[in-house]
Amino acid sequence: MSGKLKVNIVWHLHQPYYRAAGDKLFMLPWVRLHTLKEYHDMAEMVERHPKTAVTFNWSPALLKQVEEYVDGRKDEMQKLREKAASDLTPEERYQLVRGSFRANPATMIKPYPALAKLHDRWEAERRERAAGQELHWNDQVIRDCQVWGTLIWFGFSALKKYPEIDELRKKAEGFTPEDKIKLKEIEQKLLAELLPRWKNICHKTAAEISVNPYFHPIAPLLCNYSDIEEAMPDVPQPERSINWPGDVRWHLQEAKNAAQKYFDIDSVGLWPSEGSVSESFMNLVDECGFRWVATDEALLHRAFGQKTNKFQAYSWKNRLPVFFRDTKLSDLIGFDYSRLESSDAVNDFFKRLEQIKNTTEPRPERLLTVILDGENPWEHFYGGGENFLDQLYSRFKKSDQFQTITPNKYLQEGHNLTSFDRMGAGSWINGDFNIWGGSSEDVRAWELLAETREALYSWENLDAEQANDCWRALYAAQGSDWFWWYGEPFHSEDDEKFDRLFRENLIYIYKRGGHPEPSYLHYPLHSTESPGYEPPRNFISPEIEGRETHYWEWWGAAKIITSSSTGSMARSTDRIKTIRCGSDEDYIYFYVSFSQRPEDEALCRLAVNGSCFELGPLKNNSGKLAFTDSQQTVEESAWAYGQILECKIPLSETKLKPGDYCNFQLIFRKDNTIFERFPVREKLAIPLLDKKTEASEWTA
């Protein structure tokens, strides 16, 4: 069959926003490091092949961070690098060395013998290092790490323009403070050159620019979280309603504004965050005037069936063009070709193109779409992917069988696109939302986001600047990356930092709005120190009898399953099994069940916020609560011990009220010796409901 096969390649360039609202430093350095490497390298490749038509999808939050670096903003690793080695604290030295080797060893560390030797030393000491043990590396070795931590990240484009980079790599060790200054100067130049370089590419080459929603949210779940059921029936969902099309409209409109600001483009296409789409989301994309949208072929198959022709573009309701990526070919570049010689990888890719060309009808609208990550794969290619990309683009230039084309150019050809009436809900990963909504940690995070948004929406006395700052922090907290690392299957060394960034954005909203933040926002959602937990759901008023009279008596109270606790929250014995804590408008109620019952002579001390109460001896089976710091007692019978231990405390005795947060700790002792304590260190924080509030999430 004759006729060229059109090939639409989209490189997606994305990093989350690494600075929590109100913070001065970026918590992680990846925007800076990828700028030194892939973002300039991809620009270099387009400039070498200006007539090769490929598309680059930029995350607006990434572009904003580059701009902030140019304006003088720094990240935590930069601060560690710029300090004199002798001034670094032991903890800073450890973090500096650890961060210096955050790269692919095979392609970015082992090619440099001096660095490889340091890396081997680090790996050996890290395995043997006891908790809290200092790294005994002298100042010169630390300074070498300060330099190498940035030096390995310069890509082939930077090396071509700044030969000093190669000089430093050849020097290899014994770096001086002056070398650090030279490194910093080159780095800052590259950061400043990036956005103007890409603006020039946009207007003087065949490349096209597209964007994704501003802070890279999973927009279909923001539009209507219940749409998750279409892709994942029966998956647990947050109890609070998440139906925020206005928020999605903000992300979309600000993305268009970013394209205008950084590239001087009025009309752009949209690669949605993680290729995630839904029917309600498509309406918003269309309303905001995007030129086209793209997603994965799994959504095409859902609309038309498995045998649908994926080698063309489609039109949603004859209103919005849609491009569906070929999953296999996209993933080959992203995950497999780095293991092959560049020529073998390019040959394999073109053989597959030939097979598609020879087995599909040569209609004018015939098109293959390939969409993938345009930054992370190149760390795994030797030479940063230069040979692979150069050969790939060159083959297209010389080919009489294949033609690269961008979505806009394709649409300008005026093809009659097949229309479909409904877009299914899903993403480019298995066609579902499991990564961002499939675990209990994901659901807790969405619940916290919803609770914070409800609070913000209810505040009536914010001035315009306060409101703008608060809402922008909320939009940042909606980014997909925080949810990516919660639950399974993905984990990294930065899990705790991603968790912290998410929570700190929410904390900032309360502080900036002049309201006290919920105490549980200071506890990690993603932590090995979190006991199993179910949040309070409604008021309870159980009878204090030392037994569970019926199932519904304690239903709706917070539930802590202590057996799943580890780390600093671990129990000192195996006695306590489950704790429940609930409330009504007058009392806090506690329930404790045991794996091993305490001795009859034992006393139980219950610390609640600033007050301590004593129950027991437990052999009495029931009694009044005694204040441990006075001779007072709570006048009515307030605890009972039988099958379980139950207790109620008047709110009036604790200075708490509905809507506050109850911090408590249980201590059991006999003959003045403590034999059980939960939690071991920090008190637990449980929200007390009021008539206006629903359940809120918590973790310890």
Residues with Cβ within 8 Å of 435's Cβ and at least 6 positions away in sequence, in order, are 274, 427, 429, 483, 484, 490
Tokens (6 digits) for 692: 């206006």
- Rounded distance, CA 308 to CA 300, Å? 7
Sign of the torsion formed by the C-alpha atoms of 677, 680, 683 and 685: negative
- Rounded distance, CA 276 to CA 431, Å? 8
CATH number corresponding to 532-687: 2.60.40
- Give the model's confidence band at 204: pLDDT under 50 very low, under 70 low, under 90 confident, else very high: very high
pLDDT, tens digit, 9 for 90 and up, residues 671-690: 878 888 787 655 567 878 87
pLDDT of residue 300: 95
Residue 34 has a CB neighbour count (10 Å cut-off) of 25
Report the interhelical angle of 245-263 vs 464-477 (nearest 10°).
90
User: Which H, E and C letters describe 216-257, residue by residue?
Assistant: CECHHHHHCHHHHHHHCCCCCCCCCCCCCHHHHHHHHHHHHH
Please state the rounded mean pLDDT for residues 214-235: 96
pLDDT, tens digit, 9 for 90 and up, residues 405-419: 999 999 999 999 999
Instruction: Give the whole-number percent of the chain exceeding pLDDT 90.
Output: 69
pLDDT of residue 481: 96
pLDDT of residue 236: 87
pLDDT of residue 633: 59
Please state the rounded mean pLDDT for residues 477-496: 86
Q: Decide if pLDDT at 699 tops 60.
A: no
Q: Decide if pLDDT at 130 tops 80.
A: no
Q: Decide if pLDDT at 444 tops 60.
A: yes
Q: Decide if pLDDT at 458 tops 50.
A: yes
pLDDT of residue 269: 98
pLDDT of residue 573: 46
Q: Decide if pLDDT at 639 tops 80.
A: yes
- Rounded distance, CA 667 to CA 665, Å? 7
Angle at 6 between CA 307 and CA 206, to 5 degrees: 140
Please state the rounded mean pLDDT for residues 341-367: 97
- Give the model's confidence band at 564: pLDDT under 50 very low, under 70 low, under 90 confident, else very high: very low
Instruction: Give the whole-number percent of the chain exceeding pLDDT 70.
Output: 91
pLDDT of residue 629: 52
Q: Decide if pLDDT at 572 tops 50.
A: no
Residues with Cβ within 8 Å of 515's Cβ and at least 6 positions away in sequence, in order, are 455, 459
Please state the rounded mean pLDDT for residues 43-49: 98
pLDDT of residue 695: 36
Are 441 and 487 in contact by the 8 Å Cβ rule? The answer is yes
pLDDT of residue 554: 87
Q: Nearest to residue 318, comparing CAs of 410, 421, 423, 412? A: 421
Q: Decide if pLDDT at 132 tops 80.
A: no
Are 10 and 370 in contact by the 8 Å Cβ rule? The answer is yes
Residues with Cβ within 8 Å of 425's Cβ and at least 6 positions away in sequence, in order, are 220, 227, 228, 230, 231, 277, 278, 279, 433
Q: Decide if pLDDT at 195 tops 70.
A: yes
pLDDT of residue 565: 39
pLDDT of residue 623: 77
Give Dmax over CA atoms of the chain in angstroms: 97
Report the interhelical angle of 164-171 vs 139-151 (nearest 10°).
140
Please state the rounded mean pLDDT for residues 574-591: 88
Are 361 and 310 in contact by the 8 Å Cβ rule? The answer is no
pLDDT of residue 402: 98
Please state the rounded mean pLDDT for residues 613-634: 72
pLDDT, tens digit, 9 for 90 and up, residues 374-399: 999 999 999 999 999 999 999 999 99
- Three-class secondary structure of residue 63 per DSSP: helix
- Give the model's confidence band at 329: pLDDT under 50 very low, under 70 low, under 90 confident, else very high: very high
Q: Decide if pLDDT at 8 tops 90.
A: yes
Please state the rounded mean pLDDT for residues 102-117: 95
pLDDT, tens digit, 9 for 90 and up, residues 500-555: 999 999 999 999 999 999 888 988 886 434 446 677 877 888 989 888 776 668 87
Tokens (6 digits) for 387: 């040979």
For residue 220, whether the previous peptide bond is cis, meaning omega lies within 30 degrees of 0, is no
Are 426 and 433 in contact by the 8 Å Cβ rule? The answer is yes
User: Which region among 204-213, 471-480, 621-630 has the lowest average model confidence (pLDDT)?
Assistant: 621-630
CA 133 to chain centroid: 30
pLDDT of residue 533: 67
Expressed in percent and rounded to 5, the helix, strand and coil fractions of the chain are: 45, 15, 40
First to last CA, the chain: 64
Q: Decide if pLDDT at 489 tops 80.
A: no
pLDDT of residue 568: 28
- Give the model's confidence band at 577: pLDDT under 50 very low, under 70 low, under 90 confident, else very high: confident
- Mean pLDDT (the chain) is 90
Within 13 A of 559's CA, how many CA atoms are on the CB side? 13
Predicted model pTM = 0.77
Are 437 and 232 in contact by the 8 Å Cβ rule? The answer is yes
pLDDT of residue 663: 82
Task: Please tell me which residue, 573 or 304, carries the higher pLDDT value.
Answer: 304
